[in-house]
């Protein structure tokens, strides 16, 4: 099979089921076959990963920086390469760098950095996730209050025009954004996610009806589920289609709360790292405190990788391994409409992660 690469591991997780004694055959960046090992000829060259399994590579839809370089502080291609390296070490072949509430000039510089990275042939960076500034100050968390504001149509038009093709996801509070702004964002094929929001149950549902298809870091910085006011948490749990990210580090959300949300939301719940990095510059002086980060003594980000997030789901939230893997690959792919990602199946993207039984990343294909 000239030009084809064959990979074998103890098990293969296809995104739907586990296979033993099978091989994955890849050609030109695509999966062309998944076949029993017995179907291979002895003359074919294979790469074997003993005591490991192969699964679809992870996709992180919210990460801010790595190795001391926060993208908002260092909006350049070197930061993006560093961020990509961090993601790959955690089994994520694809990521969506995020920018928290900031100045419009910073957003533009980050957009320029992604464009420059792509022009150099850089891969794996899907675009940008803007988290703010169109959020509710009552649920700002570590976001800078002085920069938070409701958007005008003019402001949104200018930002979306400048970031055309780069901005892929925007987190906003539905109760502070008009339907006109949301409609405008959607015309640019950008995923709108509700977050840092104090929306009532009805306001959240109105947002979903207006085209909001996701919720950012479930439970954190949003109106909670209460028996007389279900809030944004209750609204997304009650909805049949809207998906939500969650940060499984044990600090942002108790593992029992993750388990409860998973039982209710099933395939609509996916993981992000929300990973930041230590920095003393810019609006967000993140300081590492144990396995989390704080800014001005407020929880501001995680120290997760996607592999660690998946391991935490299995070890602490009692989520079955296959489902935890889907939460890190297939479901984020669904959020962004990446139809050929998240499965090991003919015609799908061939970026794969190799992990051992301790759920440590051994290789990224």
Q: Which of 270, 273, 251, 361 is nearest to 319 (CA)?
A: 270
Q: What is the mean pLDDT of residues 137-142?
A: 96
Residue 43 has pLDDT above 80, yes or no: no
Q: What is the pLDDT of residues 161-173, one digit of tens each?
A: 999 999 999 999 9
Q: Using H for helix, E for strand and C for coil, what is the string for 213-279?
A: CEECCCCCCECCCCCCCCHHHHHHHHCCCCEEEECCCCCCCCHHHHHHHHHHHHHHEEECCCECCCC
Q: What is the pLDDT of residues 74-99, one digit of tens each?
A: 999 999 999 999 999 999 999 999 99
Residue 296 has pLDDT above 90, yes or no: no
Q: Are 136 and 175 in contact (CB under 8 A)?
A: yes
Q: What is the sign of the dihedral through the CA atoms of 161, 165, 171 and 174? A: positive
Q: What is the mean pLDDT of residues 273-298?
A: 91
Q: Please report the domains of the chain, with CATH numbers, ordered by start residue.
A: 5-56+345-364 (2.30.40.10), 58-336 (3.20.20.140)
Q: Please pick, among 76, 249, 274, 357, the residue that the annotation labels catalytic.
A: 274
Share of the chain above pLDDT 70, in %: 99
Cα distance between residue 340 and residue 326, in whole Å:
14
Is 254 part of the annotated catalytic residue set? no
């Amino acid at each position: 099979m000239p030009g084809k690469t064959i990979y074998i591991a103890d098990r293969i997780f296809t995104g739907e089921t586990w296979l033993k004694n099978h091989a994955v055959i890849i050609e030109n960046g695509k999966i062309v076959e998944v076949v029993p090992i017995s179907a291979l000829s002895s003359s074919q060259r294979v790469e074997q990963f003993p005591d490991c399994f192969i699964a679809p590579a992870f996709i992180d839809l919210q990460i801010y920086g790595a190795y001391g370089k926060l993208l908002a502080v260092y909006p350049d291609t070197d930061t993006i390469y560093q961020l990509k390296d961090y993601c790959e070490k955690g089994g994520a072949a694809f990521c969506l760098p995020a920018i928290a509430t900031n100045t419009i000039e910073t957003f533009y510089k980050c957009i320029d950095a992604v464009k420059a990275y792509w022009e150099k042939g850089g891969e794996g960076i899907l675009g940008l996730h803007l988290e703010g500034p169109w959020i509710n100050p009552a649920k700002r968390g570590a976001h800078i209050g002085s920069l938070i504001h409701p958007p005008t149509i003019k402001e949104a038009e200018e930002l979306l025009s400048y970031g055309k093709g780069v901005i892929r996801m925007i987190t906003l509070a539905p109760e502070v954004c008009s339907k006109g702004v949301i409609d405008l964002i959607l015309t640019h094929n950008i995923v709108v996610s509700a977050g840092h929001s104090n929306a009532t149950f009805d306001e959240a549902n109105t947002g979903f009806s207006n085209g909001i298809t996701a919720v950012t870091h479930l439970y954190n910085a949003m109106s909670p589920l209460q028996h007389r006011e279900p809030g944004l948490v209750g609204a997304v749990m009650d909805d049949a289609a809207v998906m939500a990210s969650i940060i499984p580090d044990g600090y942002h959300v108790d593992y029992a709360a993750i388990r409860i949300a998973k039982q209710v939301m099933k395939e609509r719940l996916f993981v992000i790292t929300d990973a930041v990095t230590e920095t003393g510059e810019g609006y967000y002086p993140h300081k590492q405190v144990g396995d989390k980060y704080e800014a001005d003594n407020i929880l501001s980000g995680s120290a997760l990788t996607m592999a660690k997030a998946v391991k935490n789901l299995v070890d602490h939230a009692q989520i079955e391994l296959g489902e935890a893997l889907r939460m890190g690959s297939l479901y984020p792919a669904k959020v962004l409409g990446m139809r050929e990602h998240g499965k090991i199946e003919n015609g799908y993207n061939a970026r794969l992660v190799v992990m051992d039984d301790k759920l440590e990343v051994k290789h990224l294909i």
